[in-house]
Chains A and B, each alone.
Chain A
Amino acid sequence: MKITEKPVAFYPEFERKSGPHKETTHYCPGCGHGNVHKMIAEAMVDLGINERTVFISPVGCSVFGYYYFDCGHMQAAHGRAPAVATGIKRANPEAIVISYQGDGDLAAIGTAETLHAANRGENITVFFVNNAIYGMTGGQMAPTTLIGQKTATTPRGRLEAQHGNPICMAEIIATLPATTYVERVAIGDSKHIMKARKAIRKALTNQVENRGYSFVEILSTCPTGWKMDGPDARDWLVEEMTKVFPLGVFKDESDHREGAWHRPVEPFAPAKRDAYLGAGEAEAKAEKLPLPAELHCKFAGFGGQGVLTLGLFLAQVGMRAGLHASWIPSYGPEMRGGTANCSVNLSERRIGSPLVDRPNLLVVMNQPSLEAFAGEVVEGGIVIVDTSVVENCPGLPGRRVVRIPATGIADEVGTPKVANVVLLGAICAATGAFPLAFVEQSLRETVKKKDLVDLNLAALRRGHEHVLGAV
């Protein structure tokens, strides 16, 4: 007895779907996405791969792919699914990675990612659901919209002179030497559908056997966007779409490439990454200094004042001390004069997020930064202010405000450019987190130009003395 029914690679109930009706899809009646989903689910079961499949949902009507398939999922930004797929596949070559994308996603906003993933011959499977329209956003013209086709943004029909021609992705992809298998199929009549089913299975089998990049373009219907009922939409697909997008195999190197695309990409190993980034070195030298309290810092000022470098200095000191450290900058488009800030975390424990919303150490080098961030400092926190630049620095109840004319001191030492290092000295003294000699040694190793080492050390010591003297 043969029973053909809902494949078990679908969840029994679509619990993640909002609202009632947890056994039906969110797709409109007659929408081709449902057919494609069904055939992918069936192939996953038959190939026994659902336990190791990662399905990447695009932006478009299929954005909720993760409602349906009982496998791994990732949601990508609009058009970026092939880039995300590349990352997942390279980090975990055992995963079967499906990049499922609509025509707006794949052939408009994501054209670059599409072409480059194909050009690299990533060992992934791309299912390109071409319904000649932006379904999700209300039926606007897509790059694949036919000449003369009426959409919300081409109410009198697409014009070649104004909007260009429908783009034939399968043909374009097939020209790239690294691609293995490229076919265009359709959710049209029964013959078309059964061919589509075969192509979907083949594209997944290729990945299982490491045969490389497979691309299946599936002409599909959008009854809602096309303003037709289900049967009329399938007729229009068969009669009109296939004229512009001919069906067939555009390239098939599958037989010559078994195992060929098993790239010698090594699985992700944190120790290797650290060595590559040089992060391991700092850890090896680390002296394991205990930290009196975790530091969550914000350094803010104008671009060019050196607040980002100050954050980096402190993060490096932390790493040399055997601490976990994070540094993340935030700045405007201007190289000089705009505002800039960075966040630094230092901890004896692993750091979950590099962001710092509530700093316990704030260092500001201009007035707007003091006003922007002073209110975020936690009670008992320290605020260090460069009073050479910040004119108005009131006390902050419950916070310790350390005033230091850092830029003025730096100028005396030799150049205002080392104001950030003066502030590093001030941080050492105010927090007591690191002994001065330890920070001096870090600076010697960090400052690249050796003739500047003495200048930086002088700036560091002056900042340190200033704060200790003031206490």
Chain B
Amino acid sequence: MNDSVQATAPFIEIDAELCKGCKLCIGVCPKGVIDISEKLNGSSYHPAYYLGRDCTGCALCFYACPEPAAIKVVKP
């Protein structure tokens, strides 16, 4: 992904250390662009991650996520 794409397309950021791997964001994403990582984070959870494309910025994942700071949605 180049810089110009990043500036115009919506995207999300998931902080892998603040994620508890509950997968609720994955279930609600209409675009199916979130998945669970194979790696463990520092709290021994498999964190969710953004596939890096096709996010619409709908923020449904943000509201489905119980953690205050795990997900950030940016809609330019």
Contact B68 A30 (CB under 8 A): no
Residue in contact with B69 in the complex, picked from A6, A33, A189, CB distance below 8 Å: A6
- Which of B28, B63, B65 has the largest number of chain A CB atoms within 10 A? B63
CB contacts under 8 Å to B, within A190-237, are 190, 193-194, 197, 223, 229-231, 234
**Shortest Cβ gap from A43 to chain B (Å):** 12
Is A438 at the interface (CB under 8 A from chain B)?
no
Residue B74, interface by CB 8 Å: yes
**Residues of chain B having any CB pair with chain A under 8 Å:** 18, 20-24, 26-28, 43, 45, 57, 59-60, 62-76
Q: Is the CB of A30 within 8 A of B18?
A: no
The segment from A17-25, A124-132, A267-275, A409-417 that touches chain B is A17-25
* Residues on A facing B (Cβ under 8 Å): 1-7, 10, 21, 23-25, 27, 29-35, 37-39, 41, 68, 189-190, 193-194, 197, 223, 229-231, 234
**Closest Cβ of chain B: how far from A39's Cβ, in Å?**
7
Q: Is the CB of B27 within 8 A of A1?
A: no
Say yes or no: B74 contacts A1, CB within 8 Å: yes
- Which chain B positions have C-beta within 8 A of A30? 20, 22-24, 66
Q: List 26 A-B contacts (CB under 8 A).
A: A1-B76, A3-B74, A4-B72, A5-B72, A6-B72, A21-B43, A23-B18, A23-B69, A24-B18, A24-B20, A24-B68, A27-B66, A29-B20, A30-B22, A30-B24, A31-B66, A33-B66, A35-B63, A38-B66, A189-B28, A190-B60, A190-B63, A193-B28, A229-B22, A231-B27, A234-B27
Give the complex CA separation of A31 and B60 in angstroms: 17
Interchain CB contact under 8 A, A38 and B22: no
Across the interface, do A197 and B23 meet the contact criterion of CB distance under 8 Å?
no
A370 → chain B closest CB, angstroms: 58
- What's the least CB distance linking B25 to chain A, in Å? 10
> Could you say which residues of chain A place their CB within 8 Å of the CB of B27?
231, 234
Q: Tell which of A6, A10, A194 touches B63, judged by Cβ atoms closer than 8 Å.
A: A194
The smallest C-beta distance from A190 to any residue of chain B, in angstroms, reads: 5
- A25-B75 Cα distance, complex, nearest whole Å: 26
Report if A231-B24 is in contact (Cβ < 8 Å); known contacts: A4-B59, A21-B43. yes
Is the Cβ of A3 less than 8 Å from the Cβ of B73?
A: yes
Q: B23, A231: Cβ atoms under 8 Å?
A: yes
Residues in A with CB closer than 8 Å to B71 are 5
| Contact across chains for A230 and B23 when beta carbons are under 8 A apart | yes
**Within the assembled complex, what's the spacing in Å between the Cα atoms of A133 and B70?**
27
B68 in complex: contacting residue of A3, A6, A189, CB < 8 Å = A6
Residue of B nearest to A189 (CB): B28
Which residue of chain A lies nearest to B63 when distances are taken between CB atoms in the complex?
Answer: A193
Residues of B within 8 A of A4 (CB): 59, 62, 72-73, 75
| A189 CB contacts on chain B under 8 angstroms | 28
A324 to chain B, nearest CB (A): 46
Smallest distance from the beta carbon of B7 to chain A beta carbons, Å? 9
Q: How far is the CB of A461 from chain B (nearest CB, A)?
A: 71
* B residues less than 8 Å from A223 (CB atoms): 22
5 further interface pairs, Cβ-Cβ under 8 Å (given A30-B22, A35-B64, A37-B68): A1-B74, A5-B72, A29-B45, A31-B66, A68-B68
The CA of A4 and the CA of B69, in the complex, are separated in Å by: 10
Q: Does B66 lie within 8 Å of A25, measured CB to CB?
A: yes
Complex interface: chain B residues within 8 A of A190 (CB): 28, 60, 63-64
Contacts of A7 on B, CB cut-off 8 Å?
A: 68
C-alpha spacing A3/B71, complex, angstroms:
11
Task: In the A-B complex, list the 8 residue pairs whose CB atoms are closest, starting with the nearest.
Answer: A34-B66, A230-B22, A30-B22, A29-B20, A29-B22, A5-B72, A6-B69, A4-B73
- Are B63 and A25 neighbours in the complex by a CB distance under 8 Å? no
A34 touches B43 (CB 8 A): no
Please measure, in the bound complex, the distance between the C-alpha atom of A367 and the C-alpha atom of B25, giving whole angstroms. 70
Give the complex CA separation of A230 and B44 in angstroms. Answer: 16
Q: Which A residues are in CB contact (< 8 Å) with B73? A: 3-5
Name the A residues within 8 Å of B45 (CB-CB).
Answer: 29
The reply to whether B24 and A5 contact each other, CB–CB distance below 8 Å, is no
Residues of B within 8 A of A38 (CB): 63, 65-66, 68
With a cutoff of 8 Å between Cβ atoms, the chain B residues found around residue A10 in the complex are 68-69
Nearest residue (CB) in B for A30 is: B22
How many Å lie between the Cα of A24 and that of B70 in the bound state?
A: 8
> Contacts A21-B43, A234-B24 hold; do A34 and B68 have CB atoms under 8 A apart?
yes
Report Cα–Cα, A27/B70, bound state, in Å.
14
**Chain A residues positioned under 8 Å from B64 (CB to CB):** 35, 190, 193
User: Please, which residues of chain B bring their CB within 8 A of the CB of A37?
Assistant: 68
In angstroms, Cα B69 to Cα A3, docked, is: 13
- Of all chain A residues, the one with the shortest Cβ separation from B70 is A24
- Contact B66 A35, beta carbon cutoff 8 Å: yes
For B27, B28, B63, B66, the residue with the greatest tally of chain A CB atoms inside 10 Å of its CB is B66
Q: Which residues of B contact A194 (CB under 8 A)?
A: 60, 63
